[in-house]
Amino acid sequence: MTVSPLDAANETTRRITTLSVATAVLLIIMKAFALGASGSVSILASLADSTLDLIASLATFFAVRWAALPPDDAHRYGHGKAEGLASLVQAGMVLASSVFIGWEAVQRIFDPRPVTSGGWAIGVVVLSIAITSALVWMQTQAVKKTGSLAVAGDRAHYAADLASNVVVLIGVVSGSLLKAPGLDAAAGLVVAVWLAWGALNLLRGAADHLLDRAASDEDRAAIVAAVTEDARIANVHQLRTRMTGQALMVQMHVDLDPDLSLKAAHGITLDAEKRVLKAFPHADIMIHADPRGAAEPHGGPLASARPTGPEPVKAEPNGPQPDQCDAPDAPSKRVGPWS
């Protein structure tokens, strides 16, 4: 049985999130042992980070499975926004973690405590770096394949964890071998700042997803280029794009010869959809055909919206272009994602 690109992507996200949860559990056990042996605030910071990583990974684990559910009567566009919600939860937990770690680090700066059993702590941190690096690499491959926002958010967690582990290693070495526990606390403070910055980036990405931010200018231009490969399509306008989970939702109007039969117009738009799907396999596409040169009924408060951007490349029309109409909902003579 042939597996659709979207089903294959969903299976990839399910596998990588399962691995993410297992990795978080392993790291927590290792760092808890190292904390008990050393008392290092840097290890405490890293342990707190890994604990929140586990919670976030569990949220992602369930979110990608929820997002993969097919549309139902109550969710006609599917459940893809679950990925944005999971990313929002992840960002909040990372921000809370940064506040806790920052407070503890400031306390230790004013009240330094020696780092004991530094050898155990160093060994655990080095092993954590190796394990986390492998996971981040696999998550990166999964994001390239699926474009999953939830997996990208989870990867951001572990990428921050990887960087923080390097800082922790510096802190533990300075506290145990250099006998400078103040540096250990300072390393914990650096981790807190790093986590806060990562949380803000996650919040921005989740907000873009939940507020239906449009696809990039490059992607919209690629969609228009694919559609207008057929010279019978004279114009593309009212193009709207947004992400819902891993699916790219695409809506547009195209101008066709008004003398075409309904069957012929349907065939032209169907071929256009296939060309867009070739470039964007996870797309959900709806194309409305307009008779060229005829003003359309107003399609709602957003129908006349035209995002700003560089002047798009004009497609070669099949026949003379109609005169430009001044009505806001009239077909534009320009071809491109901003027309």
Over the Cα atoms of the chain, what is R_g? 26
Q: What is the mean pLDDT of residues 291-300?
A: 63
Confidence band for 204, pLDDT divided at 50, 70 and 90? confident
According to DSSP, residue 4 is labeled: P
Cα 186 to Cα 130: distance, rounded to the nearest angstrom: 23
Range name among 105-109, 226-230, 249-253, 315-319 with the lowest pLDDT average: 315-319
Q: Does pTM top 0.85 for this prediction?
A: no
The string of DSSP letters for 205-240 reads HHHHHHTTPPPPHHHHHHHHHHHTTSTT--EEEEEE
Taking the C-alpha atoms of residue 252 and residue 231, their distance in angstroms, rounded to an integer, is: 17
- 50 or 333, which is more confident? 50
Asked whether residue 320 carries a pLDDT value surpassing 50, the answer given is: no
- Token digits of residue 184: 């250990």
**182 with 173: CB under 8 angstroms?**
no
Q: Is residue 227 scored above 50 in pLDDT?
A: yes
Rounded Cα–Cα distance for residues 152 and 150 (Å):
5
Please give the average per-residue pLDDT across 153-176, as a whole number: 72
Percent above pLDDT 70 for the chain: 76
pLDDT of 134 reads 92
pLDDT at 251: 93
Q: Would you place residue 182 in the very low, low, confident or very high pLDDT band (cuts 50, 70, 90)?
A: low
Span 217-229, average pLDDT = 92
pLDDT of 323 higher than 50: no
Return the pLDDT at 122.
76
Mean pLDDT confidence for 293-301: 56
On average, the pLDDT of the chain sits at 76
| Highest mean predicted confidence (pLDDT) among 111-120, 242-251, 288-297 | 242-251
36-70 pLDDT, tens digit each = 776 766 677 778 777 877 887 888 888 888 877 87
41 vs 195: which has the higher pLDDT? 195
> How confident is residue 308, by pLDDT bands cut at 50, 70 and 90?
very low
154 pLDDT above the threshold of 60: yes
DSSP per residue, 148-161: -HHHHHHHHHHHHH
% of the chain at pLDDT higher than 90: 19
Residues 6 or more apart in contact with residue 338 via CB below 8 angstroms = 220, 306, 307, 308, 309, 310, 312
Mean predicted confidence (pLDDT) in 31-40: 76
pLDDT mean over 333-339 = 38
Question: What confidence tens digit (pLDDT) does each residue in 70-113 have?
Answer: 777 877 777 778 777 877 877 787 787 778 778 877 877 777 66
Cα–Cα nearest to 35, from 124, 106, 155: 124
